[in-house]
Amino acid sequence: MRKEFSKLALFAATAAVAFSGGAAWAADSASAKEAEAMVKKAVSYIKANGKDKGYAEITNKQGQFVDRDLYLVALQTDGKVSAHGANEKLVGKVLLELKDVDGKEFVREIIEAAKSKNGSWTDFKYSHPLTKKVEPKSLYCERLDESALVCGGIYKL
């Protein structure tokens, strides 16, 4: 009986640590409100300082548009990446036909959603910048102008 109680106590303690660790990780992730606010701030920044300076600031990993797992992406409506806060190697690439692990053409969907409604959210799966694991993600985008979007997303851990 005592041995079974010890195993149960050990299991409960391990589970508590595991779940509290997950809660701490989730608490350290960006929220939807933070993503929306950062996108709005970047749109204002680009309008005030120009696209060249704005896109450079978005791509700067130590810049004001990167916070924990929240970073921004600037996209052209043809799918070309103008700025990327987590992977500068994507800048200049056309990703219109890029698919997530489920086969969803999420870049195309992001652009279509932003064309039909400014301030839109799109769900897909993408590599988490900190864990490097593919996670469910939701991306918020606003139109910068008729040919450009600024987006920031949250991971749904």
Kindly report, residue by residue over 12-63, the tens digit of the pLDDT. 333 333 333 333 344 588 999 999 999 999 999 999 999 999 999 999 999 9
- DSSP SS3 for 76: strand
Kindly report, residue by residue over 104-140, the tens digit of the pLDDT. 999 999 999 998 888 999 999 998 888 889 999 999 9
Topology of domain 31-155 in CATH is Beta-Lactamase (3.30.450)
Burial annotation 28-48 (CB, 10 A radius, 16+ → b, else e): ebbeeeebbebbeebbebbee
Q: At what angle do helices 32-49 and 51-59 cross, to 10 degrees?
A: 140
Q: Where are the domains of the chain?
A: 1-29, 31-155
Residues 150/141, Cβ–Cβ less than 8 Å? yes
Instruction: Look at phi and psi of residue 4 and say left if phi exceeds 0, alpha if psi is from -120 to 50, else beta.
Output: alpha
